[in-house]
Structure formats: C-alpha cells, structure tokens
Amino acid sequence: MPCADSVWLTTEKDEVVEVVSGREVRRFRLGAPLLGLTVSDSHPIAVTADGTAYMIDGETPRAVGKLGIAGTAVVLGAWRGAGRHVLAVDRASGTVAALDPRTGRGFTVQLKLKSRGDLAAPVTLGSFAYVPDYAGPSLWKIDLGRATAASRPLDVPGQPGPFELSVSGGRVWANNQYDRSVLVVDANGHERYADKGTGAELTDTEGQTGPPGGGSPTDPKDPPTQRPPSPQGPPKGPDGRLVTVPSFARGTPHEQACATITELGLRCRAVSAGDDEPGVDPGDVLGTSPAAGRRVPVGSRVVVRYAGPLRTPEVTGLPYREACRQVTAARLRCEQVVSAEVAIAPEQLGVVSAQAPQAQTEISRNSLVTVTYPDSIALPNVADQAFGAACTRLEELYKMRCQAVLGGPVTAGKQAGQVQSQEPAAGTVAKMGTTVTLRYYKGESTPGTVVGANISAACGAIQAEGLECVPVEGTCAQTVGRPVGEVYGQDPPAGQTVAVGSRVTLTYYGDKCTVPGYGGQGWEAACNDINARGFSCNAVPVLNPTPGVVLAQDPPAGTYQLGTPVTIHYSPWTPVPTVLGAAYPPGTQIPGARVIYHYTCDAGGDLCRGLPRNEFYSGLAPGSPTIGAHFRGAAYAVLMTCGTAAGQARVWRTWNGGSPRYYQHVRSESPPPADDREELGCVW
C-alpha cells in the first residue's frame, strides 16, 4: 500500500514493513493479529483484529482509537479513495464504522440491507463515504458529519456483480465496464448518471437475462475478505433492433413515463431524486438516462428520475438555531417553541428535544416545522469558588450572563476573590441570557508566573488568585516551533501586587496560521508547503488542459486553524495534439477514459468499404464485428467522457450509407447531419 514516500506491507507473521525507494527501512509488530492496512488523513493506518487503529508513520505506532467492529468479515476502506476518517465495513452484519484519527472519536451505523449484500471496501469524498454493494449493484452513502446512513442506496447501472469504484476528478465513479451508463457522485453527495456513448461492447446490461457474458450470478456466500472488482465480460446483445428513448415534458408523472417506455420494449427503473424541485410536483419526471433521443437496443433499461417527496430533516439533538437553519435550507418554515420543561442538565439548554412533524415525514414545500427546546434551568451554587472560574462556568456551560462586582472584606476562612454571594440565588430557575451577579471578597493578590504553561491551566491559576484572566491568541505556534496554547506573555507581570478582580492578560501561541495562495504553482511543491505549515493537503486530480499546477484552492488564502484540510485541484495528465484535437496518449488513466482506435485498410480494389484505401477513428475495440475484416486497428488516443470538465469539445465520426463509404471526424455539440454517426468523446 503506497502512502507519501513509502510503501507499506504486511507479512504472514503479522509484521508491518515499510519500504522506501525499493529498500526495507523498518519492520515491526503491533502485538496483536493484523486485520489490514488503509490510509486516513494522509497517514498509513494499521488495524488489528480487535478493531484498534494505529497511525504507523511516526517514530513508534500510535493508537488513535477503536473502530467498534472486528472480525474476519471486516473490510477496511480503499487506500485509493481515502479521506480523513478510518473506514471499515462488516460484510456479515452490514455495519459501517468511521473513526476520526485526529480526535479519536468515531461511530458505527447499520445499513438497511433488504437481503444479504455483497459489500466491499468503502471510499471517501468530501464529507461522505460510499460503500459498494455488488449484490445490487448499488452504492450506500454515509454522511460522516451527521453519522448517518442513507435509508436506501444509489443504483449502479449493470447486472449484479463486481464493478469499479474510484475517486477521481473530485467525483466518485461507480462503473460497470460494459454498461453504457456510469453513476457519478460529486463532492456534495449529488448523484447523476453519465452516458458513456455507443460502442460494440457497451450496452445496457440490465436489458439481458442473466449476468454479462452469460455467466452465472456472483455467489455472495463465503466471499473473500477483500477483493478488487474483477471486470465483467462483454454482455450478450439483444435482438439487434434499436428504439429511441422518448422525451417527456417536465412534470409528466413517472408512472406514465414508465408505461410509455415499457410499450417500446424497454425496461423502466424509476428513481427518486430525493427531493422536490421548483415547478414540478412530487412524482413528476425530471429526466431520463440514457437521455431522450438516444438510440438503444430493445430490452435496454432506462432510468426515469422523478421528483421525490420532500421530507422533514432530522434536527433533534441540534442547537435550535442550527436546527432552524437546516429546516429552512430544506425549503420549509421553522418555528421555535420553548419547552415548558426545565432542563435537567446544562447540556440540554438550547438543544432541540422534539420536532413536529417527526424526521423523514413527507411534507409539502413551505410547510411549518416546529422545533422545541428548553431555555431555563436551576442555577448552580458557586459560593466560595474563585469568581473568574464561576463566571466562566455560568457563561459557557449555563449560557447566562455573568457580572462580577467587588463585595465586602474577607471574613474568617475565606479568601480574596472567592464568591461572597450570588443573585439570583442558587436553585432559582433562570432563562438563558439571565444576568447573574457575583459579589466577591475584596483584597489584594500577587500572582506568580504562568509563562510556559498551557493557556487553560494558566487561566485557572490566575482565576484562583482572585483575578480576571484575559486570554489573547498571539503568534502562530507552527511558525516558531512551540506548542499550541503555550503562554509567552503575562501583563501585569508575575510578582506585581494588584487588587483582587484586576485583569491579567495572557498571550499564548495560537493555532491560527496563514495559508498563502498557490494558484499556478507546481502542485507537489504546494502540497509540501501546506503540510509543512501544519495544514493537511488534499490534492484532488481534475481534468484540465494545463497539467501539473494548482488550478484552484479551497479554502483560499487566509488565516485558518492548524490541521485544516486545504484542497488543491490539479491535473496530473498531459494532453497531446491528435487529428481529433488535444487528447491523451493511449494508456492514460483519466476519469471516464474513452479509448479511440485508428483503423486503416490498404487491401486494394474495393475491399476497404468500396475504396482501395480507407481509414477512420472509432471507440469500437479491434475484433468488433462492425469494423470490417480488412481494417487493422491500434489504440490511438484517449478521449474524455463529455460533461466531466469545462472547455471540452465533442467529437463525432460520421459516414454515408452505401459504397464507397467516406468517413469524417466532426466537432459538434449536437449530432451532426449524416447517414450514421458515432460519438467518440470529448477533446480540449
């Protein structure tokens, strides 16, 4: 498994081996049987059989947490699609685990499998993880931010069995090699179906009976712990007749659309888009895949996308303002209702305890959703506590306002700066935002030095002296090589006697540092600089005619917290000129690659489609029956799937009917006029 500059291996003796430049540099054990290796947050991760994850690229392995699942049926996330979280799926139970190595916190979630699935290694893009299910075939989406799984998976075009799942160009690609459609999911979790175009070995595999190539279905029993998707064989074509996918007016009920499609001898699969859209009612058609106007074999599958019902989001457990933000983002109205119940614990204050209608209820746009939360609680007793610490507790935990005022002289057994009295009194039920006045014993204090201490401990020490701590974030810790939070300034200085209640300003090394702009710079140098500054570089390859440099950056130049992921977009693929336009050399592994072959014939006479010599370019592979016996072909270029990047130009092969046959190669966004044509793909 490659990660950064090393390759990581495991042995039958449960050893982990690091290899650099073809040479073994170290070998070690973790003291327990190994489950496998994966990548998380740009670090190599080893997971033991009990589900403990270790970050292994430091001087010594460091445990970062437990996955919450274990056993021989567990499959770790694919290193080619790794993100911030350590991912794993239990193929036997359908449980998915995610662990954040930065915080050690994680969660497990259960997939709602209707029958036994055939789950494989998950991948990550953005804040979502995706688990392939070869039994569908389908793709389960996991929201890593909300720790939830989708109630139903995304459909992957094709017959049940392995399919290719990859992350490239800022998208997730779920691709059956021999199906004309491919499922594409963007970084925001929005899915669509892309048409790969025509080809002798491309069809709609769901238009057949049985799996591609006439084989037997994949047996999900006793699958290997982890296996790469094996390519499916070329599918058997239907009876040769072609029909045109019909066009439906926006707003056509999807049941009516499916009836029309079925009458044409096609198979219809209606798929909810998951939300309603302006101008259409739930259940109405939004579009089809393949698109209207496409010629497809009889028996092919057509996906009808329709507007799904709007459903209420799950907002219980969220702060009430965030809950209403999510409700209004779902194009609903939000009403905040204060609960008659008094919060038992301060953690409940301002947090939604109930919603109406309940989550996932079908609802019309602009309908009202009510969120209920408690806003009052019994005040705690803070007598005899240092007034600064008491105010911090009241403000941060109880969400009150705190006003500290000078009280009377110190009495027996008391200390200057301790709370003498509070108003309202302890036990009084108060609403969030109520001002609580604390009177503290007056006197003088001589604080000691807190320079070099962590800011939290330092503030605690200052408050214990009866003084008010004012923390001020200063120089970025990474730039001076000091720990985040270390205090390096104290004003007034240690040893100076001041009145109790005085302010002491503590300046500490912060975790907010500068990210410069990297546009136009070499992407590798930019990534190295980002990591050296204490941030996490997330290099995302995208299609672009300018290779090797940073094309876009998120977030832009500015000041951010250390560890913030900085995503840079770059193209690792260098286009070359061809007779079709700027494309890529044969063998280039771009996302949505379309291999184009150059066919030539010099057999003489009229053997070359009515001519002594002839040539053309096509996406049909050598050996396809429609090529012609006298034409010889070789891979010529790799074109892009259209719609995968801006600035693309669509290329077609056109030809006349009859003999002799003349071929042309035309750039056009719409099908050019000709007796027949083949869409080759897109060039720059």
Whether residue 580 is found in the same domain as residue 679: yes
Pair 84, 126: CB distance under 8 Å: no
Q: What are the structure tokens assigned to 485, written together? A: 């939070």
Q: What are the structure tokens assigned to 184, written together? A: 């594409």
pTM of the complete model beyond 0.85: no
Mapped onto helix, strand or coil, the DSSP state of residue 662 is: coil
Whether residue 565 is found in the same domain as residue 624: no
| Orientation angle between helical segments 455-464 and 387-396, nearest 10 degrees | 130
Residue indicated by tokens 């009836």: 259
Single-letter residue type at 632: R
Whether residue 362 is found in the same domain as residue 391: no
Q: Determine the pLDDT at residue 274.
A: 53
CB contact set of 197 (below 8 Å; sequence gap of 6+): 180, 594, 619, 641, 678, 679, 680, 681
Q: What is the DSSP string of 605-630?
A: TTTTTSSSSEEEEESSPTT-TTS-TT
- Mind listing the pLDDT tens digit for each residue in 211-261? 333 333 333 333 333 333 333 333 334 445 778 888 888 778 888 999 999
Residue indicated by tokens 């982890």: 226
Query: CATH code at 345?
Result: 3.30.10
Percentage of residues of the chain with pLDDT beyond 70: 92
Whether residue 435 is found in the same domain as residue 521: no
Produce one character per residue of 490-521: b if its CB has 16 or more CB atoms within 10 Å, e if not: beeeeeeebebbbebebbbbbbbbebeebeeb
Pair 116, 158: CB distance under 8 Å: no
Q: Determine the pLDDT at residue 235.
A: 38
- Mind listing the pLDDT tens digit for each residue in 45-87? 999 998 999 999 877 888 888 999 988 889 999 988 888 899 9
For residues 530 and 498, what is the distance between their CA atoms, to the nearest angstrom? Answer: 45
Q: Determine the pLDDT at residue 196.
A: 65
Whether residue 600 is found in the same domain as residue 643: yes
For residues 296 and 292, what is the distance between their CA atoms, to the nearest angstrom? Answer: 10
Using the 3D structure, point to which of 424, 442, 460 is the last residue of a domain.
Answer: 442
Q: In this structure, is residue 679 part of a structural domain? A: yes
For residues 421 and 498, what is the distance between their CA atoms, to the nearest angstrom? Answer: 22
Whether residue 595 is found in the same domain as residue 677: yes
Q: Determine the pLDDT at residue 273.
A: 60
For residues 640 and 411, what is the distance between their CA atoms, to the nearest angstrom? Answer: 83
Pairing, β 95-99 against β 106-110: antiparallel
Q: In this structure, is residue 342 part of a structural domain? A: yes
Q: Determine the pLDDT at residue 558.
A: 93
Q: What is the DSSP string of 49-109?
A: TTSEEEE-SSSS-EEEEE-S--STTEEEPPGGG--SSEEEEETTTTEEEEE-TTT--EEEE
Q: In this structure, is residue 105 part of a structural domain? A: no
Cα distances (angstroms) measured from residue 616 to each of 215, 516, 627, 679, 681:
34, 49, 10, 13, 15
Q: Determine the pLDDT at residue 278.
A: 60
Using the 3D structure, point to which of 377, 399, 417 is the last residue of a domain.
Answer: 377
Q: Determine the pLDDT at residue 200.
A: 43
Q: Determine the pLDDT at residue 557.
A: 94
* Series of mean pLDDT values for 10-residue runs along the chain (684 residues): 84 88 84 90 89 86 89 89 90 91 86 85 90 91 88 84 86 82 82 64 44 37 36 40 81 88 86 61 80 78 78 86 86 92 91 90 85 95 92 93 91 89 94 95 91 93 90 92 94 93 94 93 94 90 94 93 90 96 94 93 94 95 88 95 91 93 94 92 95
Bridge partners of residue 536, in order along the sequence: 565
Q: In this structure, is residue 617 part of a structural domain? A: yes
> In terms of C-beta density within 10 A (0-12 exposed, 13-18 middle, 19 or more buried), how is residue 249 classed?
exposed
Mapped onto helix, strand or coil, the DSSP state of residue 530 is: helix
Q: In this structure, is residue 534 part of a structural domain? A: yes
Residue indicated by tokens 């995968």: 644
Whether residue 602 is found in the same domain as residue 662: yes
Give the residue numbers spanning the domain of 424. 379-442
Query: CATH code at 400?
Result: 3.30.10.20
Mapped onto helix, strand or coil, the DSSP state of residue 173 is: strand
Single-letter residue type at 52: T
Separate counts of helices (H) and strands (E) for the chain: 6, 52
Q: What are the structure tokens assigned to 235, written together? A: 């599918």
Whether residue 369 is found in the same domain as residue 419: no
Q: In this structure, is residue 345 part of a structural domain? A: yes
Whether residue 340 is found in the same domain as residue 384: no
Q: Determine the pLDDT at residue 272.
A: 66
Whether residue 590 is found in the same domain as residue 660: yes
Whether residue 434 is found in the same domain as residue 344: no
Q: What are the structure tokens assigned to 49, written together? A: 């059989």
Q: In this structure, is residue 471 part of a structural domain? A: no
Whether residue 601 is found in the same domain as residue 673: yes
Q: Structurally, how many domains does the chain consist of?
A: 4
- Mind listing the pLDDT tens digit for each residue in 419-428? 999 999 999 9
Q: What are the structure tokens assigned to 294, written together? A: 């496409």
Using the 3D structure, point to which of 427, 442, 457 is the last residue of a domain.
Answer: 442
Q: What are the structure tokens assigned to 472, written together? A: 């001020």
Q: In this structure, is residue 99 part of a structural domain? A: no
Other C-beta atoms lying within 10 Å of the C-beta of residue 446 = 10
Q: What is the DSSP string of 185-222?
A: EETTS-EEEEE----TT-B-GGGSSSSGGG-PPP--SS
For residues 109 and 107, what is the distance between their CA atoms, to the nearest angstrom? Answer: 7
